[in-house]
Copies of this chain bind each other. A is one copy, B any other.
Amino acid sequence: MKEIGVAVIGTRFMGRAHANAFRQARAFFDPPLLPRLVVACGREEVRLTEFARRFGFEHTATDWREAIAREDVSLVDICGPNHLHAEIAAAAAAAGKAVLCEKPLARDLAEAQGMLQAVAGAGVPHMVCFNYRFFPALRLARELIRDGALGEIRQYHALYLQDWGLDPGLPLTWRMRKELAGSGALGDTAVHVVDLARFLVGEIAEVCGMLTTFIKQRPLPNGAGLGEVTVDDTAAFLARFTSGATGVFETTRVAAGRKNFMHLEVNGTRGSVRWNAEDPNVLEFYSLDDPPRVRGFRRIVVTEREHPWAGNWWPPGHGLGYEHSFVHAACELLTAIGEGRPPVPSFRDGVAAQAVLEAVARSAAERRWLPVHP
């Protein structure tokens, strides 16, 4: 069995999701390269040690440079805050390591482009972790669209609502500071539905956006009073795809009762699909090819052998959860590297999504439509 040594940088939400993904890829799939969890990297030593023990890392490092420098590491997985992505990616690429990076790729378009240049220049494999592409139901949606089951696509609607920011007492973390995160809900959650728009429909030509910050100050983590929230907590925009299709996007962190409510609908000339992250194993599909009296949105439980990745897990109807999307993403990365082909989605996709975010942010500031410059 061929193995590849992995360094995971970051031990929180995403660090855990990625470490788990590599472990489970090994248990449930047969990628040509098996991931070895060589080194976990984080700044808080106690937390890091526990993280490494839980997921079975061989080593720990509190300095990411040290992790990257290891000879037994060939893949660097960047799960830290957004402001660290670029520097780590550049260093990893310079060291000849493959790079997996959490979304959004960077704080802004220029930074993202720099990262793409770094990895492309170094010739290393690169992937941005748009994990939603790897839900079986959304992959099935993509296949149906590709096969023409929806005809020509005309409309894309995406609502992505959360409420974790609703409590004004929640402290000011890096996700609420522009210098660290780049943007707020826009880069954190809208970026997913932007990527899915590209995945399912195609390139976005122009946008018109609105960014809002409902909660403008929050307690500083150190207890020293209030600090300014410098990013949006709500973002919405209209879009026109290059194909002529229309897009409507909205995302927020402050919609009471919505936990991870990502609601997507795509309408074409021959049919439609709908998906909701709160019921992730189901794809709804409507087809004009059905006889008129029995037309209706089918609730497809995407857990059959015929469905992407499903056959590697459990019998039909025994659904998967959120984390499985990362396992499938890890498999794609390991397979692509193993087969010597570029992983998908790559940093190019990360840049393309970032270009949309950037146009939305500028459009919101200028209060008019703007083209997306990739």
A170 smallest CB distance to B (angstroms): 13
In the complex, A292 has a CB within 8 A of chain B: yes
Q: Does A220 contact B (CB under 8 A)?
A: no
Complex partner residue of A367 from B236, B281, B290, B368, CB under 8 angstroms: B368
> Which A residues, 256 to 298, have Cβ-Cβ distances below 8 Å to chain B?
256-261, 265, 267-272, 277-288, 290, 292-298
| Residue from the list B1, B20, B164 in contact with A315, Cβ < 8 A | B164
Main secondary structure of the interface of A (DSSP, over half): mixed
Given A55-B27, A252-B155: A300 and B307 interface contact (C-beta under 8 Å): no
Q: What residues on B are CB-neighbors of A140 within 8 Å? A: 293
Tell me the residues in window 18-65 of chain A with beta carbons closer than 8 Å to chain B beta carbons.
19-20, 23, 26-28, 53-56
Nearest-Cβ distance from residue A132 to partner chain B, whole angstroms: 12
* Structural contact, A154 and B240, CB atoms closer than 8 A: no
A214 & B286 in contact (Cβ 8 Å cutoff)? no
- Chain A: residues with Cβ within 8 Å of the partner, total of 99
When the two chains form their complex, are residues A269 and B256 in contact, meaning their CB atoms are under 8 A apart?
A: yes
CB of A131 to closest CB in B, whole Å: 11
Q: Are A260 and B296 in contact (CB under 8 A)?
A: no
| Shortest Cβ distance from residue A147 to the other chain B in the assembled complex, whole angstroms | 10
26 A-B interface contacts by CB (under 8 A) = A13-B315, A28-B54, A140-B293, A155-B234, A155-B254, A208-B208, A208-B367, A234-B246, A236-B246, A252-B267, A255-B265, A256-B270, A256-B288, A257-B267, A258-B272, A259-B316, A260-B316, A261-B317, A278-B281, A295-B300, A296-B299, A313-B323, A314-B322, A318-B322, A318-B323, A320-B322
Cross-chain contact B296 with A300 (CB below 8 angstroms): yes
Q: Is A278 in contact with B368, judged by CB distance below 8 angstroms?
A: no
Which listed residue (B56, B237, B268, B298) contacts A295, Cβ 8 A?
A: B298
Q: Which of B13, B214, B256, B257 contacts A314 (CB 8 A)?
A: B13
CA distance in complex: A123, B307 (Å): 47
A321 to B317 alpha-carbon distance, docked (Å): 10
Does the CB pair A236–B248 fall under 8 Å? Answer: yes
Residues of the B chain whose Cβ atoms lie less than 8 Å from the Cβ of A299: 284, 296-299
